[in-house]
Amino acid sequence: MSPGLHTKPAVVKAASSLLTDMQGASSSLTYAALLTDDGFDVARLPGETDGTRFAGMASSMQALGDAVTHELKIGSSEYIIIASGKGHVVQLRVPGQELVLSALFDNDATVGHALAVTRTFAQKMAELLP
């Protein structure tokens, strides 16, 4: 259990910095957020936006994804994609942590690229934490 990651300044700083790197790695990244499993906003990009509502929603989606895979008995949810006319939201867990990385890419990026970038940075986040 990793209580209150959103309250730890070192974690918040590392998370913000990671999102900035992520932006550097993909020009089609429009919005990204790191949030706790129970819906608290840890960091987001752009930094000035209010991430509270999105963090709640993303955690609900993550939990619903798990509920669906549990219901269908297909193991655990690996990633969630929401496709829209203006872009894709890709979302997955940071391995070994009670954190979720959720990112919006515009349609210049393929879904494959969006997924690869998100996976890479989720893994990097995992490596930043003890």
Partner 1 sequence: MAEHVILFTGPMGAGKTTAIQSLSEIEVVRTEANNSERHIVDKETTTVALDYGEILVDGDEKVRLYGIPGQQRFSFMWSILKKRAKGMILLVNADNPDPIAEMIFFLDEFRELYDRGGVVIGISRADVVVGPTLNEFSEALERTNPGLVIPVFTVDPRDRDQMENVLLALIVNIEMREAFGMLSRTESA
Query: If DSSP states are collapsed to H, E and C, what string results for 31-76?
Result: EEEEEECCCCEEEEECCCCCCHHHHHHHHHHHHHHHHHHHHHCCCC
Restricted to residues 82-101, the positions that interact with partner 1 (CB under 8 A) are 98
116 alpha-carbon distance from chain centroid? 13
Restricted to residues 11-30, the positions that interact with partner 1 (CB under 8 A) are none
The three-state secondary structure class of 15 is helix
- For residue 100, give the nearest of 49, 50, 44 by alpha carbon: 44
DSSP secondary structure code for residue 88 in this structure:
E
Among 67, 81, 83, 111, which residue sits at the site for partner 1 (rule: CB under 8 A)? Answer: 67
- Of 98 and 106, the one with the shorter C-beta distance to partner 1 is 98
Going edge to edge, which strands form the sheet with 41-45? 41-45, 29-36, 99-105, 87-93, 80-84
- Of 28 and 65, the one with the shorter C-beta distance to partner 1 is 65
Contact window for partner 1 (CB under 8 A) among 23-31, 60-68, 77-85, 102-110: 60-68
Number of residues that bind partner 1 (CB under 8 A): 27
- Of 61 and 116, the one with the shorter C-beta distance to partner 1 is 61
- Is residue 126 a contact point for partner 1 (CB under 8 A)? no
Interface positions with partner 1 (CB under 8 A): 1-7, 36-40, 52-53, 55-57, 59-64, 66-67, 71, 98
